[in-house]
Structure 1
Amino acid sequence: MWGSTGGLTALLTAAAHPEVCRALVLIEAGPAGPSPELPDRIGRWLDSWPVPFPDVEAAEAFFGGGPAGRAWAAGLAPGPGGLHPRVDRDVMVATVQENAHRDYWDAWDRLRCPVLVVRGERGAMKPDEADRMRARHHATRIVVIPGAGHDAHLDNTPAVYGEMARYLHDLQQ
């Protein structure tokens, strides 16, 4: 199971080494691109964080509350004056630079395993990208998690796990 950038990494690994992957679950991740505004958008979002966060409650509120807010807050580390990100802002922005300038449809077309693509109803992945994924790789199942955003696995964990369980069960049949 992989989401977003980790999902792209898993997709590229499965395409390059099909012998290591029997099935793939991608959450809000796919081969579309380019997205030139992505590094700046992520940088602005990280820059908007009121670091250090004074406490967990303030962090959860900043990240929108609920399961996703709790998960993001749990990823912070204690440091001088409060809670700090565990990631370096510039490293995060640099990580998505290549994604901003190319797509990965060539890798998608090399996949040999079945794929479950999980989209959040309010997520970043567009329905037409998911449809194109299924059209190009027929062993692709697309599911949409109601009310979920980009962090669908955090926004509605039971629904995502339920879809994954059904998918894995069906693969064994």
Structure 2
Amino acid sequence: MTCMDELRFLPEQAAALGVAAPPVRRLTHTLPDGRTVSALRYGDAPPVVTFLHGAGLNAHTWDTTVLALGMPALSVDLPGHGDSSWREDAAYTGGILAADLAEPLAAWTDRPQVLVGQSLGGLTAAAVAAAHPELARRLVIVDITPGIDPDGDAAQIAAFFAGPADWASREELTARALSFGLGGSPDAAARGVFLNSRVRADGRVEWKHHFARIANALAADPDAAAAASARQGAMRGLLADSGWDDLARVTAPITLVRGERGFVTPADAVVFRERVPAAEVVDLPTGHNVQEEAPVELAGIVAEVAER
């Protein structure tokens, strides 16, 4: 997919918002081990806001939010997603991803960012802000707190990705997404599939992100799936502790945006307020993918935070 191909939807999205589409270009940074991290830069000026997406998504999940925001921005493909390299160890946790992102973020920005992360991206953003305070001026976490599974409804996601590893067309993938109640409208689902898949040299279509390959392999091996589930259960408590430790170390002001139908329950929000008393919590009447269900409202929150 060329840069022009992946930007084909932006003019229509911008027109629907009544704004002009900014210039956008794709950036690539090579890590010391040869892996690459990719991102989209919106606008000609240095970015002031950096966005990190959730598991199974990619940088384009933020397109409408960035257009509504109207500020120079950076949207990163997390390792294992989009145009960024997969990790051979399949280790996709906030702390590990933060270590991968520190170098490219420093290279792509010239000032501390308003760092916005949703789900897995929120845990990653917190870990970045904790370990590299020079990179984060403010932190906005979208619908995730430590201890909550960033993959969400694991059964539904596993079932969705447990089909074939490749497909004859993107239309097949779109139909599958809609059959699982994913992707929103048919047009939105088709756009999401286009931006989150690639056509191989043999003409077959596959998901860009590593999570689909992992889920597909586990579905084919029930014993491995059971062992993986046990490992995940054992690690969840450790990861929760690590996430709370990250938030305790963050010196930047923190805002939690909670989708009222998302993953962060009212009880989870109470715990968050107790553990991070200086943070603010903002509720929106959405599900987990706030950036796709209420992009304009989320952009307003980010703009207000950025202008403080």
- Give TM-score, length-normalised by structure 1: 0.74
Q: Which residue of 2 aligns with 1:124?
A: 263
Q: State yes or no: 1:14 paired with 2:134.
A: no
Aligned length: 166
Note if 1:150 corresponds to 2:270.
no
Match of 2:192 among 72, 75, 79: 72
- Deviation per residue, 1:39-66 (Å, 9 max, x gap): 9534334215895273345366342423
What is the CA-CA distance between 1:81 and the residue it aligns to? Answer: 6.0
Q: Is the 8 A contact 1:53 1:84 kept in 2?
A: no
1:159, distance to aligned residue in structure 2 (A): 1.2
Q: State the partner residue of 2:247.
A: 108
Aligned equivalent of 2:277: 138
Q: Which moved more, 1:58-67 or 1:81-90?
A: 58-67
1:101 CA drift (Å): 4.1
Distance in 1 (alpha carbons) for counterparts of 2:204 and 2:140:
36
Other structure's SS at 2:245 match: helix
Structure 1 residue 141: Cα displacement: 1.6
What is the correspondence of 1:161-172 to structure 2 with a 5 Å cutoff?
Answer: 161-169=299-307, 172=308
Are residue 29 (structure 1) and residue 167 (structure 2) matched?
A: no
Tell me by how many angstroms 1:152 deviates.
Answer: 0.9
Q: In the aligned structure 2, how far is the partner of 1:142 from the partner of 1:90?
A: 35
Whole-angstrom CA distance in 1 between matches of 2:257 and 2:305 = 11
- Root-mean-square deviation (CA, aligned residues, Å) is 3.4
Q: 2:207 aligns with which of 85, 88, 95?
A: 85
The answer (yes or no) to whether the contact 1:60–1:70 under 8 Å persists in 2 is: no
Work out whether residues 60 and 69 of structure 1, in 8 Å CA contact, stay in contact via their aligned partners in 2: yes
Shift in Å, 1:118: 1.3
SS in 2 for 1:23: strand
Cα deviation for residue 124 of structure 1 reads: 1.3
Three-state SS of the structure 1 residue aligned to 2:141 is strand
Amino acid at match of 2:196: G
C-alpha spacing 1:15/1:161, structure 2 compared with 1 (3 Å): same
Higher RCO (C-alpha 8 Å, min separation 6): 1
Q: 1:7 is matched by which residue type in structure 2?
A: G
Tell me how far apart the structure 2 counterparts of residues 23 and 122 of structure 1 sit (CA, whole Å): 25
Corresponding residue SS for 1:22: strand
> Quick one: percent identity of the two aligned structures?
27
CA gap of 1:158–1:84, structure 2 versus 1, over 3 A, is same
Q: Secondary structure at the match of 1:11?
A: helix
Aligned to 2:246, the other structure's residue is in SS state helix
AA matched with 2:139 = L
Alignment of 1:33-48 (within 5 A): 33=148, 41=155, 42-47=157-162
- How far off its partner does 1:151 sit? 0.9
Matches of 1:157 and 1:13, distance apart in 2: 24
What residue ranges of structure 2 are gaps of 5+ in the alignment? 1-115, 219-227
